[in-house]
Structure 1
Amino acid sequence: MTEIRTPRLLLRRWLEDDLVPLSEIHADPAVMRNIGDGRPRSTEQTAGDIEAWEEEWDDEGFGVFAVELLGSGELAGAVGLTVVAEPDEVAGQVAVGWRLGRVFWGQGYASEAAHAALEFALQDRGLERVVAVLRTSDSASAAVVDKLGMRAEAAVQHPVHGYDLKVFGIDLTQYQE
């Protein structure tokens, strides 16, 4: 079982007990406003997300981790890697992404977990490049990609929802600098 420990977090595969706390995170409009269509997700949709993330682990050897606080065991959210389906400009590339419950914002958890996922991608899984695709209005996530050392590469539009996106990237040589 793939696990990563950081000073404050455990990144691990998904457990059955994670559905309820992740559903609560997904039900918060503030958490979901910059993800997908921007709407909260139901428990059934969240169960589908976890299932898809676990399938990606099985198919690709990487995926989205459950993020647990080491001190309390609370589920803080989800951080990890996924193969991008859209927009076309980055389809097929591996992206790092994150979503944390609002009570966990502003404490550096997203940066800590995303850094661990990026290191896992580039050093453990041997990927040559990782991207991040963000809504241009998502300044909190832009701060995370900046801390990761990712560089802005392109401005695109979401092909279905039409909102503006910014693509960031980093390759193995940039990461090792």
Structure 2
Amino acid sequence: MYQATLRTERLRLTPLSPAHLRHQLELDADAEVMRHLGGARRREQVEEALRGNLADADRAPGLGYWAGFVEDDFAGYWLLRPPGSGDQEPVPGEGELGCKILRRFWRQGLGSEGSRELLRHGFDDLGLTRIFAMSAAANTASQATLTALGLRHAREFLADAEDFPPGTDLRTTEFSMTQEEWQGVRVGG
């Protein structure tokens, strides 16, 4: 299904493809990047995740995963994916927001910049009614970014333990924004 290339002042967000495997390998091999996401991944795990992400993007028109580039340098990836697992029907009108950024691009505002563009794309282009994001409870930087974007704390829960190694803190926080809240953020900010 069609997925748009998106642009911000500094980022070009290109729909994720098999050609981006080397970039995802670099990103997912970094234990610090993956600290709140279950730890660094081996090549086989990254290949499986990429296949899953590409299949996931086919579940709802316009939603998916994007490789982000600053000029020609890979910076990370952003997602606005259909909620739920691949064997479930997507929740109509909803999308799940997220991003992972290479460490050399941390603290430059790129996470916010790309995520803001995905909020705009989801609400303005796709007409979504609600966008939410998940953050590990310990990932205060991610939570600060989501709050600065205008998403509100929605709930806390324990993540599914089978997705993480033993001993992982499974506390997770959900943040969300509705179409009406987005319109308020756009008018007010």
Q: Do the structures match in fold with TM over 0.5?
A: yes
- Of 158, 164, 176, 1:169 maps to 176
Equivalent AA in structure 1 for residue 40 of structure 2:
P
1:45 corresponding residue in structure 2: 45
Equivalent AA in structure 2 for residue 174 of structure 1:
E
In the alignment, is the contact (CA less than 8 A) between 1:22 and 1:75 conserved in 2? no
| CA distance 1:51–1:25, shift in 2 (3 Å) | same
1:100 corresponding residue in structure 2: 101
1:78 corresponding residue in structure 2: 77
| CA distance 1:123–1:164, shift in 2 (3 Å) | same
Equivalent AA in structure 2 for residue 124 of structure 1:
D
In the alignment, is the contact (CA less than 8 A) between 1:12 and 1:66 conserved in 2? yes
2:6 corresponding residue in structure 1: 4
1:132 corresponding residue in structure 2: 133
How much has 1:78 moved relative to structure 2?
Answer: 0.9
Q: 2:31 & 2:159 partners in 1: Cα distance?
A: 20
SS at match of 1:118: helix
How much has 1:156 moved relative to structure 2?
Answer: 1.0
How much has 1:58 moved relative to structure 2?
Answer: 2.3
Q: 1:99 & 1:164 partners in 2: Cα distance?
A: 19
Equivalent AA in structure 2 for residue 50 of structure 1:
L
1:109 corresponding residue in structure 2: 110
In the alignment, is the contact (CA less than 8 A) between 1:20 and 1:43 conserved in 2? no
Q: 1:21 & 1:174 partners in 2: Cα distance?
A: 34
In the alignment, is the contact (CA less than 8 A) between 1:19 and 1:43 conserved in 2? no
Q: 1:124 & 1:56 partners in 2: Cα distance?
A: 19
Q: 2:118 & 2:45 partners in 1: Cα distance?
A: 24
Please report the RMSD computed on the Cα atoms of aligned residues, expressed in angstroms.
1.9
| CA distance 1:133–1:104, shift in 2 (3 Å) | same
Normalization by structure 1: what TM-score?
A: 0.87
| CA distance 1:111–1:39, shift in 2 (3 Å) | same
Q: 1:124 & 1:80 partners in 2: Cα distance?
A: 15
Q: 1:105 & 1:132 partners in 2: Cα distance?
A: 19
> 1:27-66, aligned counterparts within 5 Å?
27-35=29-37, 38-61=38-61, 62-66=63-67
SS at match of 1:76: strand
Q: 2:51 & 2:118 partners in 1: Cα distance?
A: 19
Q: 1:156 & 1:118 partners in 2: Cα distance?
A: 24
Q: 2:18 & 2:73 partners in 1: Cα distance?
A: 14
Deviations 1:145-164 (A, max 9, x none): 01210000111111325611
How high is the sequence identity, in percent, across the aligned residues?
Answer: 26
How much has 1:65 moved relative to structure 2?
Answer: 0.7
> 1:21-32, aligned counterparts within 5 Å?
21-32=23-34
> 1:132-151, aligned counterparts within 5 Å?
132-151=133-152
Unaligned runs of 5+ residues in structure 1 are none
